[in-house]
Amino acid sequence: MPISNQSKCFSAEDSDLLSEIMSARRDVRGNRFLPDELAQEDIDQIFAAALMAPSVGFSQPWEFITIKNPVTKELIADSFFIENEKAKALFKAGKFEVGKLEQYQQLKLEGILESPLNIAVFYNPKNGPVLGQTSMPDMGRYSVVCAIQNMWLKARSLNIGMGWVSILDPSKVKSIVNAPDNRELIAYLCLGKVDKFYEKPELETLQWQDKKTAEQVIHCDSY
């Protein structure tokens, strides 16, 4: 007799496979994307994974806009380039570690135009109190991030790359996609097939930051 989802038990192999997918997840940049269109079945699976995410008070506060129109993508990309120049200025002003400006200038930080599919992810706050959110108002936003992580892992399991572009002006993105005033941009995602996935995260390979150990971040009872 088939095991229902409610009582599903997973094997050690299942658990290992999940760990393997999580370990292989990468933030993909434009220099890795292929121009091939994604199959609608794969896109549907990625969104299905998003809708499986937990949410505070079962509020499901996420909304998604798929973007394929080249004109729209160009407008979003223009916002990136403007914000990226501002970021470069911070590195140039010495507000970060010595040598970071040169590294920063060599990084490819987005794939807005190169990826066949962009997705803008918004937080749609509820009117009135939400169960579990009355003391920690950001829980709704965190719920949206849980959905994004589900999308990232599902995409990787389908051998589809995904990149999260955070160097954008949220207000400009909202205007470009005609988002209502009360919506909040949480993520701008680029998805597509890739020529390869890096063995390690690109910034780890470039030694942008040292990878933290479990001992550095896990504390017992208190700091």
Q: Domain for residue 71, yes or no?
A: yes
> Does a structural domain hold residue 220?
no
% of the chain surpassing 90 pLDDT: 79
What stretches of the chain show up as alpha helix (H) in DSSP? 12-24, 40-51, 70-92, 100-106, 139-157, 170-176, 202-205, 214-217
> Is the predicted pLDDT of residue 70 greater than 60, yes or no?
yes
Residue 57 has pLDDT above 50, yes or no: yes
Q: What is the mean pLDDT of residues 68-90?
A: 92
Q: Mean pLDDT throughout 75-94?
A: 86
Whether 38 is in a domain gets the answer yes
Measured CA to CA in angstroms, residue 66 lies from 13, 158, 167 at distances of 34, 18, 19
Q: Phi and psi of 150, rounded to 5°?
A: -60, -45
Q: Does residue 207 belong to any structural domain of this protein?
A: no
pLDDT of 1 reads 39
pTM of the complete model: 0.92
Domain that holds residue 163: 29-195
pLDDT(189) > 80: yes
Number of domains in the chain: 1
Pair 111, 33: CB distance under 8 Å: yes
* Residue 58 pLDDT greater than 80, yes or no: yes
Of 135 and 203, more confident? 135
User: What is the pLDDT, as a whole number, of residue 207?
Assistant: 81
- Domain for residue 209, yes or no? no
pLDDT > 70 in the chain, percent: 93
Is residue 60 pLDDT above 50, yes or no?
A: yes
Mean predicted lDDT score pLDDT of the chain: 92
Looking at the predicted structure, is the pLDDT value of residue 89 above 60? Answer: yes
Backbone angles phi, psi at 220, to 5 degrees: -110, 120
- If you ran DSSP here, which 8-state letter would residue 9 be given? -
The answer to whether position 60 is within a domain reads yes
CATH number of the domain enclosing 166: 3.40.109.10
Domain annotation covers residue 131: yes
Tens-place pLDDT, residues 14-35: 999 999 999 999 999 988 999 9
Contact 77, 188 (CB under 8 A): no
Tell whether 206 is covered by a domain: no
Residue 125 has pLDDT above 80, yes or no: yes
Residues with Cβ within 8 Å of 100's Cβ and at least 6 positions away in sequence, in order, are 91, 208
